Amino acid sequence: MSIFWRRGYSLQQQEKEQPELQSESKVNELKAALGPLFGRSLLYCTDACLKRYLEARNWNVEKARKMLEETLAWRSTYKPEEIRWHEVAAEGETGKLFRANFHDRVGRTVLIMKPGLQNTTSMDNQIRHLVYLMENAMLNLPEGQEEMAWLIDFTGWSFTTNVPVRTAKDTINILQDHYPQRLAVAFLYTPPRIFQAFWKIVKIFMDPKTFQKVKFVYPKNKESLELMRSYFDVDNLPIEFGGKATMKYDHEDFSRLMAQDDVKAAKFWGFDQKIGSATAGYAAGVAVDPEPVKPTSVVAN
């Protein structure tokens, strides 16, 4: 595509706009390569979505097309947008994985994981629970924000609570293949030495871009603490992660929040009528408004 610069444009202005125009051009190429889309695939494939897949494949349109088509095929069978909280709530009873009630410094949604609180043995259900919360986190991203942050607390972690390597591999593949460019950063807070052996294996399955986003943080390592605090306000950051906030997971409160979000998700994907009474019933009889207001925090600071 030829680009003709208007007179009076500075070199800085040209340099700033040229990548944006090239990005738009690539997105249009990918749209053409995908062909007509319908239904949920059309809802999913926004310009921002196409851009994420292009970024994941270094702006190679053909590779991005293949990756995106594989995701659309996966979504058509796995149906992540149809998972409802009452189906996976048992996985979340201990608070091993949940969406935080605070954001990082640039407004990104935060997922908190505590693998030491593992409470189930079904690997399929554990992955389904994670996928549900990924979809939920995406639903709650601020406008214009595509990424989220992860905080992982290793308190109580041991090989007995750890997931098998195969499950870790499957999980990494789902996140990398079907949620590209969704992770901004993942902080692993005080992982024990025995975790290193597990890490040496699972990091093999990570692509270089994902690997670079994983940060190890230790309380006695000033550099790693400063890096973490560059992402988070210490007043919001829970004590478990070196901050000043007191955090307590309340499963009933979180279930109410998820019941509201299930209504929001159903409305977005166009199947409001499918959520039925099961979701509302799980939340201990909580009334779920058709137009939910912004939920209150579920984790007390």
Q: Can you give the residue range of the structural domain that contains 151?
A: 81-282
> Domain check: are 34 and 89 in the same one?
no
pLDDT score of 19: 66
Q: What is the Cα–Cα distance from 84 to 76, expressed in whole angstroms?
A: 16
> Domain check: are 58 and 152 in the same one?
no
For residue 299, being part of any structural domain is answered with: no
Closest C-alpha among 234, 294, 274, 217 to residue 87: 274
Could you give the residue ranges of the DSSP H alpha helices within 35-60? 39-44, 47-56
pLDDT score of 294: 38
Last residue of a domain, one of 58, 78, 98: 78
Q: What is the Cα–Cα distance from 111 to 109, expressed in whole angstroms?
A: 7
The answer to whether the CB of 246 falls within 8 A of the CB of 297 is no
> Domain check: are 257 and 172 in the same one?
yes
What the block records as the tokens of 7 is: 């007179």
pLDDT score of 217: 95
> Domain check: are 56 and 29 in the same one?
yes
Q: What is the Cα–Cα distance from 285 to 282, expressed in whole angstroms?
A: 7
> Domain check: are 116 and 32 in the same one?
no
Residue with tokens 């994983």: 214
For residue 95, being part of any structural domain is answered with: yes
Domain count, the chain: 2
CATH of the domain at 16: 1.10.8
Question: pLDDT under 70 in the chain at which residues?
Answer: 1-19, 272-301
Name the amino acid, one letter, at 64.
A
pLDDT score of 21: 75
pTM of the model: 0.84
- Which DSSP string corresponds to 81-141? GG--HHHHGGGGTT-SEEE-SS--TT--EEEEE-GGG-----HHHHHHHHHHHHHHHHHTP
> Domain check: are 163 and 251 in the same one?
yes
CATH of the domain at 155: 3.40.525.10
> Domain check: are 113 and 187 in the same one?
yes
> Domain check: are 70 and 185 in the same one?
no
